[in-house]
Amino acid sequence: MMFRIILFTMCAALLMGISLQASSHREAPLIASDPLADNTDLYAFRSPDDPSTITIIANYIPAEVAYGGPNYYSFGENIRYEIHIDNDASKPGDEITYRFTFKVINEDPTTFFNIRLGKQNLKTTYTLQRSVDGGMTFQTIVTDGVVPPNNIGPRSIESGAGLNASYASIWNSAITTASSGEQVFAGPVDDPFYVDLGAIFDLGNAPRQGGEPARDGLAKFNVHTLSLKIPISVLLKAGAASTPSSILDSDYIIGVWASASRPAVKTLTTSDSSAYSGEWVQVSRLGMPLTNEAVIPIGFKDMWNRMTPYMEFADTTMDNFFYNPELALYMDDAQFGGAVPAFSALRIQKKSLGAFDFSNGADGVSALKNGDVPGTAFEPFGDLLLIPGKPRSVDLWPIFHTGVPNLRPYQLATGKNGDPVKGFGKPFINNFLPNGGDMLRLNMAVPVTPRNSPDFNRLGLVYAAVLGLTDNRYNLNNYLDSIPNMDGFPNGRRLEDDVTAIELQAVSGVVLAAIGLWYDDYDPTNLVGPVTPALVGVLSYSTGVDKNDAPFQTTFPYMAMPWRGTEIK
């Protein structure tokens, strides 16, 4: 008996070791050993082919190899997968919640194959419920929703010995319409996140030095997605007009986050199944990309996963990691910048406009709190935005925790006449929703940038700011314009957005530059303008991987179908 226990323990340890190899999204120690409940990415954007709707995508299960049989990945039982929407800053908590739960059965337990003779093992279906009263009650809007099987190979899918159907037809037939009108898809897809994962976590070696080619660490890996295409009318706050007053309409702002929860108690038994009991406990969550992966240090990652954004807003423990971000140390030659040559184009401003130091521990623009700042965001929120010794309380913290208001100084420098605080700049974006902590915040009134437009750009709002500052279509006045890419990250997140590059640029200070706190090499006597070599270096920075390995689709759910197990080399 003891030998069997030891053997079982060794096998379990071996299997766990295999399952934990090099996944990009295993951002916290505890969730790393529970991949079925691990959020990988969250997206929220105005649907490019149907601007009357918003598409929200929550992906789970990191680094699925397409040939991962015989127990292929799928959504887990005894897990609540939830997508949360906050649309009213005056009310605490979520207004709308979508809850997915899954059921898994084996249609032919006599075989070790996943699919044989029209029958499927690990066959997964789901129930989708929706709450529109803050989670007090839930209505079932999809019953027995179909999760398509993994794309195993031609004999399992297309042949008469398998399902005898094309994979595309099986996959597309799983798209359904909920009784409440939403389009829904739950199933395997190509992982749409792209990044040179190996280089980034090799002490920031992205782009790789020495001429070594970059590698998308998630190329040809799959994930499982929960995708919803929701009418904007469903997501609007109570009392909002059916048509926005402008592209800055505060009534059209939503905050989105996703989570996974498990019962508190799991009891192992001698039977084939385990027993679950107790309260539901959140084990994973996601809002802004890369927060827990690259901002929160390892000693706090499990704590961050257990917190809701609303708990985070009340408990300021995590704030310090944004006020003085670790990544900024590697963009400062006085700290550890010399040890990370890949970040040489990304340097923290130490004397912006000759006076303002944004390096870790410096005062940034906090001295303005005692100055003449009426009519700016500093007047009502100065205690939050202007903190001595915490320089990034003015830009990084609000980007992740409140969104950005259309108030001075958070307007483009166009029209400010050299004064970033007192000057009235070009209105840019309003996704200010000061209710809760880390979420994707999206202003649903902002028009879609067509994906085939020459102005469409993977750098999202960063590129929109470039156009607003340098393009004659937009930089000749400080009027409100719909600038391309204002619908890009961090105003929501599109599938194409290069969030890794954008967030590294933001740490370097690109947002500060956009509002007129120019880089250190800016010379106001130089008529060339604020686009200095330092700023050009930041804007041209690339990790080396600039797009996904598979093209996105033009219709819902927009992601590529999953990779086939027999085609992966």
pLDDT recorded at residue 270: 82
Is residue 24 over pLDDT 60? no
pLDDT recorded at residue 523: 84
Is residue 6 over pLDDT 70? no
Summarize pLDDT for 180-205 with one digit per residue, the tens: 999 999 999 999 999 999 999 999 99
Is residue 520 over pLDDT 80? yes
b/e map 11-37, b = 16+ CB within 10 Å: eeeeeeeebeeebbbbbbeebbebbbb
Question: Is 170 within 8 Å of 148 (Cβ atoms)?
Answer: yes
pLDDT recorded at residue 470: 94
Report CA 368 to chain centroid distance, whole Å.
32
Summarize pLDDT for 113-171 with one digit per residue, the tens: 999 999 999 999 999 999 999 999 999 999 999 999 999 999 999 999 999 999 999 99
pLDDT recorded at residue 528: 61
For the chain, the maximum distance between any two Cα atoms, rounded to a whole number of angstroms, is: 83
Summarize pLDDT for 207-236 with one digit per residue, the tens: 999 999 999 999 999 999 999 999 999 999
pLDDT recorded at residue 516: 94
Mean of pLDDT over the chain: 92
Task: Show the tokens assigned to 1.
Answer: 């008996």
Summarize pLDDT for 43-79 with one digit per residue, the tens: 999 999 999 999 999 999 999 999 999 999 999 999 9
pLDDT recorded at residue 5: 37
Is 55 in a helix, a strand, or coil?
strand
pLDDT recorded at residue 531: 82
Cα separation, 226 vs 228, in Å, equals 7
Handedness of CA 322, 326, 331, 335 (dihedral sign): positive
For the chain, the domains span 35-193+223-290
HEC string for 85-129: EECCCCCCCCCEEEEEEEEEECCCCCCCCCEECCEECCEEEEEEE
pTM greater than the 0.75 cutoff: yes
DSSP string, 267-333: E--SSSS-EEEEEEEEEEEESSTTIIIIIS-GGGHHHHHHS-HHHHHH-GGGGHHHHS-HHHHTT-T
Closest CA to 254 of 433, 420, 462, 472: 433
Is residue 30 over pLDDT 90? no
Angle, alpha carbons 473-477-480 (nearest 5°): 80
Summarize pLDDT for 428-466 with one digit per residue, the tens: 999 999 988 999 999 999 999 999 999 999 999 999 999
